[in-house]
């Protein structure tokens, strides 16, 4: 029986019109996830437009594997579009990406922080400039391959963790604003596992069905942050001292950029009974400060640039009892958020966490549900 779109019947993307009359821009990285999203929507009859961003030098990227948005990935995205019969465009965002993501990554790393550039890329490039491009293309919405869920509750879009906790990307998407959330769609968030996504890719006959997942930050090959920083800021690798918490010099280092908070290996300090860890980086003094593991434990976390997705205004009450995630690899834990303003707060972890670092995100989750209440940036050592 044909659906009657005049009585408020909604299509799978939430619009009261046939899929053929609904234009959706799909952000295509060339990987399995976004390719499946595009193929799925094309098969459902939507007016699909694929867009891939060239984020850095295409020539240098052609030989690069294991990262998104490289030259090979652009080719793969274009091929999927050809296989499924929808238009595909490559947009040169190299300058935007450098200004909005790479430069800040380098500067914050040099300041002793541990940045998460993928969050800034989503916030400042994909969900900002690319989203505006989608609107310029008269698209009704933009879809991505992220593992996160958008749920409509009382006519309001909420952000929820993915059904598959092992694939959940909420830590990297906390800064999605309510306005962006109204426009975005995440068709994979409800799937129980990545195996389901690959099964769909095989079903659609996609050439990328068996393509490995990307592992690295797209401009950081092999996860070697320091080598990238040295290229971006040639004078960054100044040597200095490794000191204990009392300021005693224990050894020398070849540059603060080679160390991260919580690091144990590679310190070059032997003959000690108690293992030492990097507990702080003093960029001005060029000091790598080390101490015992218990010195890493942090209970109080200052957070700023908060994006709040809760129903009531963030700063209209003294405390919020929530769960928070201070590292992407750790599960959410109970905490109390005490707002200082609409965009700043102090977060008290009820159980101290090791290795909390400036530059990382602190993401807020509603206790007892899968809802994401927003988050902010950890901005100095506790």
Q: What is the pLDDT of residue 4?
A: 64
Q: Evaluate if residue 88 carries a pLDDT over 80.
A: yes
**If we measure between CA atoms, which residue out of 197, 201, 199 comes closest to residue 188?**
197
Establish whether domains 11-222 and 297-378 are of one fold.
no
Q: Annotated catalytic, 218?
A: yes
Burial state string for 323-337 with b = 16 or more CB within 10 A and e = fewer than 16: bbbbbbeeebbebbb
Q: What is the pLDDT of residues 113-156, one digit of tens each?
A: 888 888 998 998 899 999 999 999 999 999 999 999 999 999 99
Distance CA(199)–CA(209), nearest Å, equals 8
Instruction: Determine the pLDDT at residue 232.
Output: 82
Count of CB atoms situated within 10 Å of the CB of 99: 12
Contact 29, 69 (CB under 8 A): yes
Q: Given a cut of 60, is residue 378 above it in pLDDT?
A: yes
List, in sequence order, every residue forming a beta bridge with 157; answer none if it has no partner: 152
Task: State yes or no: is 68 an active-site residue.
Answer: no
Residue 58 pLDDT:
42
From 69, 118, 121, 362, the catalytic residue: 121
Distance CA 280, CA 283 (A): 10
pLDDT at residue 70, rounded to an integer: 56
Residue 272: its pLDDT value, please? 75
Catalytic residue, candidates 68, 118, 141, 218: 218
Q: What is the pLDDT of residue 381?
A: 47
* % of the chain residues with pLDDT over 90: 62
- Residue ranges covered by each domain of the chain: 11-222, 237-291, 297-378
What's the whole-number mean pLDDT along residues 71-91? 92
Sign of the CA dihedral running 259, 265, 270, 274: positive
Short-list 206, 376, 203, CA closest to 302: 376
Which CATH superfamily is 237-291 part of?
Adenine nucleotide alpha hydrolases-like domains (2.30.30.280)
**What pLDDT is recorded for position 19?**
97
pLDDT at position 90, please?
A: 93
Closest CA to 337 of 305, 370, 302: 302
Mean pLDDT of 29-56: 94
Which tokens go with 118? 């993928």
Strands 372-378 and 297-308: antiparallel
Residue 318 confidence (pLDDT): 94
Q: Is the pTM of this model over 0.85?
A: yes
Alpha carbon 237 to chain centroid, angstroms: 27
Residue 1, pLDDT score: 46
Between 349 and 64, whose confidence is greater? 349
Backbone angles phi, psi at 6, to 5 degrees: -90, -10
Percentage of the chain with pLDDT > 70?
93
CATH hierarchy code of domain 11-222: 3.40.50.620
Residue range 297-378, CATH number: 2.40.30.10
């Amino acid at each position: 029986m044909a659906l009657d779109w005049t009585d408020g019947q909604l299509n799978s993307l939430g619009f009261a019109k046939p899929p053929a009359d609904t234009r959706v821009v799909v952000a295509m990285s060339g990987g399995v996830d976004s390719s499946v999203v595009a193929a799925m929507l094309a098969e459902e009859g939507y007016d699909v437009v694929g867009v891939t961003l060239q984020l850095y030098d295409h020539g240098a990227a052609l030989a690069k594997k294991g990262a998104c948005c490289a030259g090979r990935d652009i080719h793969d995205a274009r091929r999927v579009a050809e296989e499924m019969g929808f238009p595909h465009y490559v947009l040169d965002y190299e300058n935007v990406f450098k200004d909005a993501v790479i430069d800040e990554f380098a500067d914050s790393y040099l300041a002793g922080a541990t940045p998460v550039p993928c969050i800034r890329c989503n916030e400042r490039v994909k969900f900002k400039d690319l989203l505006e491009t989608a609107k310029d293309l008269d698209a009704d919405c933009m879809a991505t391959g992220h593992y996160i869920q958008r749920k409509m509750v009382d006519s309001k879009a909420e952000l929820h963790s993915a059904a598959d906790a092992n694939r959940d990307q909420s830590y990297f998407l906390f800064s999605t604003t309510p306005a962006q959330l109204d426009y975005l769609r995440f068709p994979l968030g409800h799937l129980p596992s990545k195996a389901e996504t690959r099964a769909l890719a095989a079903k659609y006959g996609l050439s990328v069905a068996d393509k490995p997942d990307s592992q690295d930050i797209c401009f950081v090959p092999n996860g070697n942050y320091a080598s990238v920083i040295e290229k971006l800021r040639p004078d960054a690798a100044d040597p200095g001292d490794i000191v204990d918490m009392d300021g005693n010099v224990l050894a020398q280092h070849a540059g603060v950029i080679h160390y991260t908070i919580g690091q144990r290996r590679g310190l070059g300090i032997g003959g000690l009974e108690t293992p030492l860890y990097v507990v702080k980086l003093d960029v001005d003094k060029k000091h790598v400060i080390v101490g015992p593991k218990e010195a890493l434990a942090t209970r109080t976390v200052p957070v700023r640039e908060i994006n709040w997705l809760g129903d009531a205004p963030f700063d209209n009450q003294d405390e919020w009892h929530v769960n928070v995630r201070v590292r992407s690899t750790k599960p959410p834990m109970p905490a109390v958020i005490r707002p200082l303003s609409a965009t700043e707060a102090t977060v008290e972890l009820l159980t101290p966490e090791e290795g909390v670092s400036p530059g990382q995100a602190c993401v807020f989750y509603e206790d007892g549900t899968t809802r994401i209440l927003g988050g902010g940036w950890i901005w100095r050592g506790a």
